[in-house]
Amino acid sequence: MDIQLWQIIVITLFAVIAQYDGLNSGFGLAKPAVAGGIAGLLLGDMQAGLIVGGTLNLMSLGVGNFGGAVIPDYTSGAILGAAFAVMSGQGAEFGISLGIPVALLLTQLDILARFSNTFFQQKADKYANEGKYHLVERMNLMGLIPWALSRGIPVAIGLSLGSEFVQMIVTNMPAWLMGGLKTAGGIVPALGVALLLKYLSIKKYKAYLLIGFALAAYLAVPMLGISFIGLALALMTYEKRQESQVSVVGGGDDDDE
């Protein structure tokens, strides 16, 4: 499909707003699943956008830019990945295979944005020492410029090149490379879940992990169904613990009497 000018403008603005939301307001627009879904909706295929964004969201689980560490820009990767999936007509797997390298590539622009932002931070410190607090507020607002450009420019360029550019990539891409990228895209959810499991008490709750694996691998239960089963088991465990605590307290009172 051919993307329209208004779609390029709206999606680019959304990429900028999502970046601001991730840094400040925290409404969830920067989540890859949300970003990919909105990009897909604007291009006429929300389902493909949700699949691309949700997959990259899984990969981002357990990963954070703590202490200023730079991580892949999964939000912009989801936006462009969803756009490429719809524009090329190759489906979500193709969008995922392009969204991952895009997220990794934009890591460099994230570093540039952080470096450029220090100029406004130093100015804000200077004005704060001088008591010019209205200028401090201005520097804080202007500090959004590097962040906006680091996301808006690559997204606008990627969308402006249009479906012809994406189709050229598809046509000239070797079959073995395309197959490898699709395979890598299929591995991404497992990688994201593995990163998340690294921070959970798996040894303590390994029985629940085995139940979930058996339901998914052998009984083909959908993820939502497994989630409901997990919620039910969690509620049962919680209620048993509450009952045991009440019985212990009651037993203690009887002994005192």
Tens of pLDDT, residues 109-168: 877 887 788 888 888 888 899 888 888 888 888 888 888 898 999 899 888 886 566 556
**Confidence label for 70 from pLDDT (cuts 50, 70 and 90):** low
pTM given for the model:
0.64
Long-range residue pairs from 117-123, CB within 8 A, at least 24 positions apart, any chain: 117/143, 117/146, 117/147, 120/145, 120/146
Report, as an integer, the average pLDDT of 209-236: 89
Q: What is the pLDDT of residue 187?
A: 65
Average pLDDT, the chain: 81
Q: What is the chain's alpha carbon radius of gyration, rounded to the nearest angstrom?
A: 24
Q: Is pLDDT at 107 greater than 90 in this prediction?
A: no
- pLDDT: is 26 or 249 the higher one? 26
Q: What tokens does 239 get? A: 């209620």
55-59, 99-103, 202-206: which range is least confident on average?
A: 202-206
Q: Helix or strand or coil: residue 174?
A: coil
- Condensed to tens digits (0 to 9), the pLDDT of residues 77-96 reads 999 999 988 888 888 888 88
Q: What is the pLDDT of residue 58?
A: 85
Domain ranges of the chain: 5-200, 201-257
User: How far, in Å, are 1, 92, 94, 95, 178 from residue 181 at the CA level?
Assistant: 22, 12, 8, 10, 5
**Confidence label for 36 from pLDDT (cuts 50, 70 and 90):** very high
- pLDDT: is 101 or 69 the higher one? 101
**Confidence label for 38 from pLDDT (cuts 50, 70 and 90):** very high
